[in-house]
Structure 1
């Protein structure tokens, strides 16, 4: 028997989180609504436990396969998992008061918010660790189904219900694209294992037309999950219609999991077809930068504006991904893919605090998501206005915030491919994007407040917000540790 069939060590973290989540759901059934904080604390402990297990694997720095090579534990996956736990944990901290005020934690099944968030996290972990079409799709559907339910969690809210229907229908369409593309590739190569597939394609004995046909559908499915143009239509509606706590669960950790399966599918499985998929990613990146930034200018709803901002930000991730191979030279691969990984992580860290602040300003019966709600924030609370300014500067790529370093590393990778025009284009698109970020800064500091209600925030949320904001600055001034970690993880993963 192959030892990879029975080795459970690579999925200890997934097993732990599955057992912990099931136990939390059972405990929550017997808890009254007044004691829902117990569910909250147990959820954070479950994420912390999974993080301890994953950190042990990351520190070992080894690559291990399990279940007949369907699952892999490697440095890239373990680093992404650690930031996934961090993202979901921080989201739960930011969301606690918000969900309580809106009755999302009331009733006998009020803990379903935490249960669904943890199951979505488990799906993301499976996606990150996948090394086969089967495990990728299993993780993707576990995450997606949990997120569909979370978007519709406020059953009495028509906007949330509408957003959930749109997300479900378009998500099912994207899953169909991805599954159809996978079936074409399986039919052509006769294997579901990504490593074996790469070797078979490289041998040059397979009809290239069938491979490219399947590749088009796979890239379309991945583009939908990233929210890249022209598969972006769900992003603004779902971001705006979802409760803000759920919007953050949608816009944070899932981006890391999607990045992981992009690397697994395109780099580890389909690298012999790099010329073809790099051209597709180039088109998606350019369209995302143009449409995302230009459309964001017209938005007055902050969540909708940040949704279009996300589309543009994903354009930069795609630029990093398409810069790994030049002709047949793969020497730029580690630098390019690690820059895209670094960009994804910094984007998620910034997004966490941005939506966290939107939840801070919201209160029972009032959603602080319109631009007018941020008028005069500097006079109401200079601390929150300063924090939001730092976050928006980071998203715009203003030094010394970490968003600047993220953009710089991606542009350096693109420049190494000889695409000078593309580098200049990306910089110009960022300048356009800076307008709508700076507009919010102007409104906060120079306009008179339209809302004078006091801002009351729990102590734990204030501490996490402060640390989150500090990370955005520190990782911009001292980017070395995270950049080196991404480079090290990606180089070891690609070498294996």
Structure 2
């Protein structure tokens, strides 16, 4: 059993040791660009990702016995967790690659940035593999505190400091909601282990009133972390105020952890009271799509527009959780959850590209974060304009981009229930997505039809340019051939539901 504990926790233990070693090694790095620290961080994240990829392949090969509890039931090793950890690791590597030139020109290239990024990834990994409420909370705080510090890394920048304060105060409020909900959950079920909470609800050994209040507070806390309406107030200000590299870290891989925790708590632990949180998710989803899409239309700042876009996108993702417990139908469950998982992974992929291109367009003393800054980009660099068009079309759900298939999978999960309520939700989602298409297509219009402020060509050489091209091709390729990733998501979700 001790050997199993080490194997299950090996990637997290390695990442923690690597972060400590890099923090010490950086003291002897004299290079202002921190190239040694950058490559050590990339190598550490790559090893972490490969370790989870190995566990994923072993778990899929094992089949029914793929889910294993360890550390006295505090952690779970299953294919879903390993797939999300692999996606988070890849997202961090791409984020650091996009960020290195950007932070180098803004005096942000410090050892603390890399160490805090690794610790945030560690928090994400702990949340993904947690099987206990307190472990989830520890992972959440590790991730959140690291991100608060990253936003405030530019101490001489008033806007970034203000964004960090808002993020910290509202993030602490969200953590308080979650912790209060968890305490109620313990009062209702006499346990903090998710399997025992599930069993207590199934056997009826609960205090139903306390349990209902606990579910409300937990859903509110999760909604804060996802950044959906009406708990979205921190998202636009933090996205706009933080340096773009840090904005990408907030809007990227933490979304995978939020999805994982939603599955762990609400599906694996609280599926017995799904009728309670399911209705709340319907409300959150529709409000997020409506407010996010309508507010984004009025934005002229590109990062702020993408913040409201993210609120709408995550609202759409939440729809995947709503039809999945009809008559306890396992097929509906696997269909909805796997569609939501595919959606969040591909959303992170597209987010990486959009913010990566914003950083690529930025230069010393100039942030390319206004929609008007992209004016005439097709004339200055047709290739960059084409890549950005792919990302905008994907977010809008235009075929054949991956965003179209992700939306289609969610809608198919809703319609396949053959119930009027879910078909109505699907119709509302389509109508609100049509509204959202306006501001994505406006960016394309600005790039191709507006006159550029600066007629000088934009160079697109170098590793970051190649990475942007690969990112754009991935968004297009997964839209043309989504079956592999979708099948993998379905397989991992089925294994998680069977455990």
How does the TM-score come out when normalised to structure 1? 0.97
Q: Give the distance between the partners of 1:31 and 1:4, measured in 2 at CA.
A: 38
Determine whether 1:117 maps to 2:120: no
1:6-405 matched pairs, under 5 angstroms: 7-34=5-32, 36-61=34-59, 62-105=66-109, 110-405=110-405
How much has 1:460 moved relative to structure 2? 1.3
Determine whether 1:491 maps to 2:489: no
2:408 corresponds in structure 1 to: 408
2:442 corresponds in structure 1 to: 439
2:468 corresponds in structure 1 to: 465
- Specify which of 479, 482, 488 is matched with residue 482 of structure 2: 479
SS in 1 for 2:76: strand
SS in 2 for 1:488: helix
Q: Structure 1 runs of 4+ off > 2 angstroms?
A: 3-6, 327-331, 451-458
Alignment check: 8 A CA contact 1:376 1:445 kept = yes
How does the TM-score come out when normalised to structure 2? 0.97
Q: 1:285 to 1:35 in 2, by over 3 A?
A: closer
Q: 1:329 to 1:485 in 2, by over 3 A?
A: closer
Q: Give the distance between the partners of 2:454 and 2:128, measured in 1 at CA.
A: 43
Q: Give the distance between the partners of 1:472 and 1:171, measured in 2 at CA.
A: 31
How much has 1:65 moved relative to structure 2? 1.5
* Deviations 1:451-492, CA, capped at 9 Å, x for gaps: 335534561111111111100000000001000010011111
Q: Which runs of 5+ in 1 are unaligned?
A: none
Q: Give the distance between the partners of 2:444 and 2:265, measured in 1 at CA.
A: 40
SS in 1 for 2:331: coil
Size of the aligned set, in residue pairs, is 490
Question: Which stretch of the first structure deviates more once superposed, 56-65 or 399-408?
Answer: 56-65
Q: Give the distance between the partners of 1:227 and 1:467, measured in 2 at CA.
A: 28
Alignment check: 8 A CA contact 1:77 1:129 kept = yes
SS in 2 for 1:65: strand
* Deviations 1:228-253, CA, capped at 9 Å, x for gaps: 10000000000000000000000000
How much has 1:34 moved relative to structure 2? 3.4
How much has 1:21 moved relative to structure 2? 1.1
* Deviations 1:112-139, CA, capped at 9 Å, x for gaps: 1111111100000000000000110000
Q: Give the distance between the partners of 1:236 and 1:96, measured in 2 at CA.
A: 24
Q: 1:259 to 1:4 in 2, by over 3 A?
A: farther
Q: Which runs of 5+ in 2 are unaligned?
A: 60-65
Q: Give the distance between the partners of 2:435 and 2:213, measured in 1 at CA.
A: 35
Q: Give the distance between the partners of 1:101 and 1:489, measured in 2 at CA.
A: 41
How much has 1:155 moved relative to structure 2? 0.8
How much has 1:215 moved relative to structure 2? 0.3
Q: 1:180 to 1:239 in 2, by over 3 A?
A: same
Q: Give the distance between the partners of 2:181 and 2:101, measured in 1 at CA.
A: 42
Report the RMSD for the aligned CA atoms in angstroms: 1.1
